[in-house]
Structure 1
Amino acid sequence: MHAGLKRVYGFWLLLFFAVVYLLPLNWRALWMPDETRYAEISREMLQRGDWIVPHFLGLRYFEKPDAGYWINNLSQLLFGHSNFAVRFGSVFSTAVSALLVFWLANLLWSNRKKAYSATLIYLSCTLVFSIGTYSVLDPMLTLWMTAAMLCSYYCLRVTAVKHKIISWIALGLACAMGFMTKGFLALALPVIALLPIVWREKRIKTLFGWGPLAIVSALLLSLPWVIAIGQREPDFWHYFFWIEHIQRFAEKNAQHAAPFWYYLPILLIGTLPWLALLPGALKAGWQRRSQRGELFFLLAWAIMPLLFFSIAHGKLPTYILPCFAPIALLMADYLEQIRQSANQRILKINGLINLLFGLFITLALLLTAFLPSLQGLLYAPYEKLPLLLALLSGIGWALAGAVSASAPCRWYWAAACPVVLSLLVGQIIPQRIVYSKQPQSFIALNLPALQHSRYVMTNSVGLASGLAWELKRDDILLYDEKGELEYGLGYPDAKGKFISRDDFSRWLTEARKQGEVVLLLKVDGENDVSASFPQADLVIWANRLRLLIFKPRP
């Protein structure tokens, strides 16, 4: 590729990344329970100066290892107490994953243009930029999974002993970081993806001969933390292994249980705005797998983890994020085949899909706004600005689709489909969802009352994490609901952090002698539980939120 074209492609790719991934980070409130939880865990780690044992609301929190929190800790150290800092760890991890996609594409095909295409496709996939700008641990896991598979490719291809040693050690280090980010799953995924490749290429001896080197390097990196947390909290590994892994993924009553086909619609929606390329990319990869070993490598990497997550009882959309790097590479290879062929109809179809998708979203919004039977389904009558911005997002998606459909040479315009949506998503969320899932604005409006209260209590763990983050205090009390903190509340030093419904009146009488008490309630439907409490001195409400303020009484 000509040096001038390299700079042009690189410039537009960086501009796309800045607009879609960086600019919107601070423009939307944190989403509960995930974003407020991870924000608060890292804040408490920094406040305590304890980077070994995770705490959440002052309670032991053993659901995840530490490496993902460490990335978030560094982000908060660099960017302070802000929404940008909370989400930057995910964005950084996604950016590094994209660089690894670029690296692997160059390694596979020695084609810089195809590498840029793969990176653009990856960064613009709906599931990738949705999760990649959201504070969860899956982008970090995806980073280490992508690094592990890149190292695996080197492990199976290099011949010099020195290069083999470096590759297998690097594979172990990547797996160790994945393990310390999200547990044993990070050790299983690369093995699951590599098994068909090793079997097909008859590399069993290579695996057993060099694999121990990866295991040793993984142990050397992770063992200090494994021992440290085991010494500090002897019960950590029992909880983390049996409850977080076995029960969550394998048992019939697993958390987030869903049917086998759950990920099919997630995959289809997640690959927008490149949906039309997906079937052809998978088909072409399968048909040419014998002649081109790298395509079989990518297919195994994409399909084997997808099957694993589909078989598991517990499912969430974020789990299949590691599958999108190989899918983007397969689609980039297929795209290059289309561009070199005489028949480029699929690129026009892809543009038309995006045009229709944008028009469908726009029409659906208009119907919910003006059709009497659907009015108020999404937006209340007074929410005209959010509705208008949502319409602009749908229209922007449709226009970008129309441009890409107008000529095959404009295929890259499909990447512009989500640009308007990504910039405006924080402003188009209906108020009912804002107060249900994004309580930051409500907390900010009532910050003076909350800051001067002796006790702050809530009936929602998600609200508790939001309160703790905004107030910078971890002594938020839980009323009537333990949720994911039930295990941490079982420790003797957690006594007094949870108040049951039956004990509340007695506890309130004693607590008001020490100062002001505020109780933030999340009301479900028509069941306004605030009516069953002792009369508050002040009640502030917004949609499903009720803030009860009890003044001090001797």
Structure 2
Amino acid sequence: MLLKIFDSRRLPVTLLILFYLATYILPLGSRQMIRPDEFRYAEIPREMLASGNWITPKLVDVRYFEKPALGYQLTALSFKYFGENAFALRLPSALAVGITALLLFRLLKTNSSDPRLPVLATGIYLLCGLVYGVGTFAVLDSQLTAALTLTIGFFYFAWSARTRLATAAWLAAVGAATGAAFLLKGLLAFAVPTVVIVPFLLWQKEWKKIFVYPWLPFAAALLVALPWALAIHHQEPDFWRYFIEEEHFNRFTGNTYDRDPEPFWYFIPVLLGGMLPAGLYCTAAWMGWKRELFRRPLYRFLLCWAVLPFLLFSASSCKLGTYILPCFPPLAALIAAGTLEAFRLRPGSARKILDITFKSLGLLLAALAVIATVGLIVWRFIPALPELYGKWNLFPYLTLLALLAWGVALIRSRRWTAPVQSAVFLFGMAPAIVFGLNAVPDIALGDKATAVGIRQCLEEIPVRRGDIILVDRGTLQATAWLLKRTDLVLIGKPGELQYGLNNYPEYASRWYKEEETDKLLAASHPGSRLFITLRNLKKKPLPPDWAAEQVVTRNGISVIRF
């Protein structure tokens, strides 16, 4: 059986699976959680589990209407079966990348006669820096990308199906995936597939299908989305007004409480940087992007899929780099197709370009590994510098050794066949990723690893029974997650809780402006007040009338007892 798995025909797919498991799944729990996103996307599902209310998203028991509930529900399920930890928190994102990669592989395998295309495209997709970074981080963009990829990919299966029954089945699947995407992030579930599918059908001169295809998917999407949509309306009648008005219209046309409008070109450097290192295949792929390639329906479809959502997201005022993640599956396919076409049309030139590209990358990696190793050794012998690692932590040195080995292999890869060279490039980074995630020191994360500082501070100033816990917006989510408490009192700007705190009077005692804090501190209470804050006490000391009893600062976090 083992020999069958590793035979020459199955080996590329086996390497893809092993790479995904080794780099996306196994290291998920090996690094600290990062504020604010990871603690937010941990705390809301934790509260779902604790309260039993899986309908209304709440953060520290305050209504939180920025997104529908499906993403939080998936994480809550992960917590239920794998425990409330970093691995379970990030698992839905990593699984979503796997689903996206599987659909991409299947789409290309079914619609291409070149067996190399699905393997190369999937490998490029998994090795894109933005895909990896988001896919091993606790945000909902990878889940949305998976749902949109299923929606758009299922449409192509429906369009290319040979029977009416198969077309209808695939269209129903389109609707189910659309409903799931809607429950993750709202109307983007309809907007993104529309800007892909309509231009593609027009390009194919099949405009009549624009009026025929939508009805079955729309009905299926309603079946998936309507139960929760009605349930949240019953529990929280203001949800849909806020979600559509603030999270769609205002974000697209203006700004929000924490985000200013960005220029139209904002996503261009994000795209170029996010494609690395796999995007280096573009050095050869451009030679294959000829007119003949886009006479084939599959590549026309992929071009619409890659370019038009990118323009849609660029037209929005409020932008985050993760928004363009749905463009990466078709982009990976186009890069792979262009590379293979370049090898077919101009094999000598394509191979020479990739040889130079991989050798340059190898030299850079080898040089950086050597310099970093020397730097780590020198660091240990300078007493004035802070300790980065424990005495026996070998992971930083293993990481640098793996980078050096990968670099040397890339330098020598010009002597090997093109498939072996690609395998070294695509999968040779796996050891460096695995070791590297275990080599990130807490000190390098600073106060972003909020839980580290809070734990250290609370060892010296422990929480007593009856204490009132005060937080600022920077420590809110992490404190709730660590202490498993939702009765926190927010001091200062409300941030993402602005809507809930301003619109529901039952939260009046949960939020004080900084100038009002003295009233809270002066009020009689049997317990003390514990303020957990990111405030830099050297640059912005506490007001003298706050009368602090104890102050401890660790890793950028301060805990003050009043």
Q: TM-score, normalised by structure 1?
A: 0.90
Q: 1:285 deviation in Å?
A: 3.7
How do 1:93-492 and structure 2 match up within 5 A? 93-251=96-254, 255-278=259-282, 280-281=284-285, 284-285=288-289, 287-338=291-342, 340=344, 341-343=347-349, 344-355=351-362, 357-358=364-365, 381-385=385-389, 393=399, 396-397=402-403, 399-406=405-412, 407=414, 408=418, 409-416=420-427, 418-426=429-437, 429=440, 434-447=445-458, 449-450=462-463, 452=465, 454-460=467-473, 462-490=474-502, 491-492=504-505
Q: 1:256 deviation in Å?
A: 4.9
Aligned-pair RMSD on alpha carbons? 2.9
CA separation of 1:525 and 1:110: change in aligned 2, threshold 3 A: farther
Q: 1:536 deviation in Å?
A: 2.4
How do 1:68-87 and structure 2 match up within 5 A? 68-87=71-90
| Deviations 1:244-289 (CA, angstroms, capped at 9, x unpaired) | 1111122267825322222222222212222222354356345334
Q: Could you tell me whether the CA contact under 8 Å between 1:355 and 1:399 is conserved in 2?
A: no
Q: 1:475 deviation in Å?
A: 1.4
| Deviations 1:200-240 (CA, angstroms, capped at 9, x unpaired) | 11222112112111111111211111111112111111110
- Partners of 1:322 and 1:277 in 2: how far apart? 20
CA separation of 1:476 and 1:405: change in aligned 2, threshold 3 A: same
- Partners of 1:421 and 1:314 in 2: how far apart? 35
Deviates more, 1:281-290 or 1:53-62: 281-290
Q: Unaligned 5+ residue runs, structure 2?
A: none
- Partners of 1:80 and 1:451 in 2: how far apart? 26
- Partners of 1:535 and 1:432 in 2: how far apart? 30
CA separation of 1:380 and 1:179: change in aligned 2, threshold 3 A: farther
Deviates more, 1:88-97 or 1:363-372: 363-372
Q: Which residue of 2 aligns with 1:29?
A: 32
CA separation of 1:17 and 1:391: change in aligned 2, threshold 3 A: same
- Partners of 2:128 and 2:117 in 1: how far apart? 16
- Partners of 2:366 and 2:409 in 1: how far apart? 14
- Partners of 1:265 and 1:370 in 2: how far apart? 35
- Partners of 2:375 and 2:266 in 1: how far apart? 27
SS at match of 2:14: helix
| Deviations 1:472-498 (CA, angstroms, capped at 9, x unpaired) | 111121111200101011211212111
Q: Which residue of 2 aligns with 1:517?
A: 529
Q: Could you tell me whether the CA contact under 8 Å between 1:285 and 1:299 is conserved in 2?
A: no
- Paired residues in the alignment total 542
| Deviations 1:374-417 (CA, angstroms, capped at 9, x unpaired) | xx9xx982245499966865664464244234224322222246
Instruction: State the one-letter code of the partner of 2:69.
Output: D
Q: Does 1:44 align with 2:50?
A: no
- Partners of 2:543 and 2:401 in 1: how far apart? 44
- Partners of 2:478 and 2:269 in 1: how far apart? 31
Instruction: State the one-letter code of the partner of 1:284.
Output: G
Q: Could you tell me whether the CA contact under 8 Å between 2:82 and 2:88 is conserved in 1?
A: yes
Q: Which residue of 2 aligns with 1:55?
A: 58
Q: Could you tell me whether the CA contact under 8 Å between 2:288 and 2:340 is conserved in 1?
A: no
- Partners of 1:464 and 1:298 in 2: how far apart? 42
Q: 1:78 deviation in Å?
A: 1.1
Q: Report the identity percentage.
A: 31
Q: Could you tell me whether the CA contact under 8 Å between 1:350 and 1:405 is conserved in 2?
A: no
SS at match of 1:24: coil
- Partners of 2:68 and 2:517 in 1: how far apart? 34
SS at match of 1:546: strand
Q: Could you tell me whether the CA contact under 8 Å between 2:105 and 2:122 is conserved in 1?
A: yes
- Partners of 2:429 and 2:449 in 1: how far apart? 22
